[in-house]
């Protein structure tokens, strides 16, 4: 049973504000953004998202967790591939030499 993901985030009408209204009511925008993300529109097109710092930290932390999980998955796949066919292994000295030349 998988989780269905949206292609893009969805916002309610209460979360959208035009750029001109955002500039006139910036204090109110900041206050609302601490409760839930707000999107500033420019000529009816989504332009900028404003959110509270705490929510940003949560998103950032979750992104880091996903990146770490992906790196671990890639490494495990590579190790499994090498276990199946050790001839695919590249000596560390070759990798290091390549890094020194390209770096």
Model confidence over 53-77: pLDDT tens digits? 999 999 999 999 999 999 999 999 9
**Whole-structure pTM value:** 0.63
Q: List 41's β-bridge partners, or say none.
A: 18, 46
Does position 93 have pLDDT exceeding 60, yes or no? yes
Would you say 35 and 13 are in contact if contact means Cβ atoms under 8 Å apart? no
Average model confidence (pLDDT) across the chain: 88
Rg (CA), the chain: 23
Handedness of CA 10, 25, 34, 66 (dihedral sign): positive
Does position 1 have pLDDT exceeding 60, yes or no? no
Work out the average pLDDT over 81-95: 84
Tokens 């292609």 label which residue? 7
Does position 4 have pLDDT exceeding 80, yes or no? no
CA distance 26 to 17: 10
State residue 62's pLDDT score: 94
Specify the higher pLDDT residue, 4 or 102. 4
């Amino acid at each position: 049973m998988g989780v269905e993901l949206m292609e893009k985030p969805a916002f309610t009408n209460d979360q959208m504000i035009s750029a001109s209204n955002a500039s006139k009511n910036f204090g109110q925008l900041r206050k609302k953004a601490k409760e839930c993300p707000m999107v500033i529109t420019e000529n009816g097109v989504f332009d900028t998202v404003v959110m509270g710092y705490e929510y940003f930290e949560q998103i950032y932390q979750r992104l880091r967790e996903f990146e770490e999980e992906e790196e671990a998955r890639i490494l495990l796949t590579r190790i499994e591939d090498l276990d199946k066919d050790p001839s695919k292994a590249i000596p560390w000295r070759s990798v290091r030499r390549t890094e020194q030349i390209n770096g």
